Amino acid sequence: MDTIKLHGFTLERQPAPPVKLAESYSDTALRLSARPMPGIVAHRDVAWGPERWQRFDVFAPTGAKRALPVLIFLHGGGWVVGWKEWGGFMAPAVAAAGAILVCPTYRLAPAHRFPTFLEDCLDAVAAVKQRIGELGGDARQIYIGGHSAGGHLAAMVGFRRDLWRGRIGKELRGILPVSGILDLVHENPAPESLEAAVYSTVLASAGDDVGASPVTYAASLRMKMLLAWGENDSQRVKDSNDKMAAALTEAGRPFEQMKLAGLDHFGTHLALQDAAHPWYDVLSRWIAENA
């Protein structure tokens, strides 16, 4: 495996991200995740299978007197790049909300196209459910979130109950996509656009776009859901969250939504370093309601 070292992390070398601003985001997320975290025990690269991508990082607060609920957070990167280490900086804020943070990895396109990485995420949730008890977590109360493409995958994991097949059950209590890409259907996408790349790079075939879109399954929601996106987010993220909100409303499924003032697509995630962020107010309220 070809590796690089960034901010103290040894990472698998990846191609340049599809959006130039993502390079700055990546550097900032890694720098924040490399900072000391007093009061947090980090269990890195917990193996749940023999493959190098079958790993997750666990961040647990020290001194907990009981098993804590779990937030699984999936990294973004347009399904083609990304490291689990992008999410570690959230750990102190997640701990303040009363939970343990778990950051898994999954295989990436174009070498592995949809639905491979969705199956990886389903398997990762099942592995967390099986292993988290020994690391201080309560496997009976699990939430799943993610940023950008990770938000898409978090929503798919929560909606696609038909794919759970005993791997996941009622312990999955809520879905929290941040700037999630919730609709992958793009008619006549502009050449070289990110929308075109969904068809050329991410999906196994063009006809998979409807089945790969969380909005298709809005009526199947059976748990809590928070839609969060930035005021200055990408247009496709804004549109897909609006479409999801409309679909959930039409289906009569309760949900919450949060437009994050002044934030762009990457700022929505980086802002989650702040334990006082209102996103954590929702998470901590859900935890209390499910206790």
| Number of neighbours of residue 39 by Cβ within 10 angstroms | 12
Cα 29 to Cα 229: distance, rounded to the nearest angstrom: 18
CB-based contacts of 265: which residues, under 8 Å, 6+ apart?
Answer: 19, 21, 148, 179, 230, 232, 233, 234, 237
Nearest to 117 by CA among 172, 88, 75: 75
| pLDDT digit string, tens, across residues 39-86 | 999 999 999 999 999 999 999 999 999 999 999 999 999 999 999 999
| pLDDT digit string, tens, across residues 194-240 | 999 999 999 999 999 999 999 999 999 999 999 999 999 999 999 99
- Joined together, the tokens standing for residue 181 give 């890409």
In the predicted model, is pLDDT for residue 269 greater than 90? Answer: yes
Q: Which domains does the chain possess?
A: 14-290 (3.40.50.1820)
| pLDDT digit string, tens, across residues 80-98 | 999 999 999 999 999 999 9
* Residue 18: predicted pLDDT: 85
* Residue 19: predicted pLDDT: 87
Q: What is the mean pLDDT of residues 170-194?
A: 96
44: left (phi over 0), alpha (psi -120 to 50) or beta: beta
In the predicted model, is pLDDT for residue 291 greater than 90? Answer: no
Helix (H) or strand (E) holding 28: helix 21-33
